[in-house]
Amino acid sequence: MDTALKTGIWQQFGAAIDMLDAAISACPERLWSAALWEDSEDPRYGQFWSVAYHTLFWLDLYLHGSFEGFAPPAPFLSRGLPEKPYTKEEIRTYLSQCRRKCQSLIERLTDEQAYEIRRFNWMEPSFVELQLYSMRHVQEHAAQLSLLLGQHGIAGPDWVAKARE
Q: What is the pLDDT of residues 109-137, one digit of tens each?
A: 999 999 999 999 999 999 999 999 999 99
Average pLDDT, consecutive stretches of 10 residues, N- to C-terminus, the chain (165 residues):
95 98 97 96 96 98 97 95 97 98 97 97 96 98 97 90 93
Domains and CATH numbers, the chain: 3-151 (1.20.120.450)
Residue 10: how many CB atoms within 10 A of its CB?
A: 20
Instruction: Please give the model's pTM, rounded to 2 decimal places.
Output: 0.96
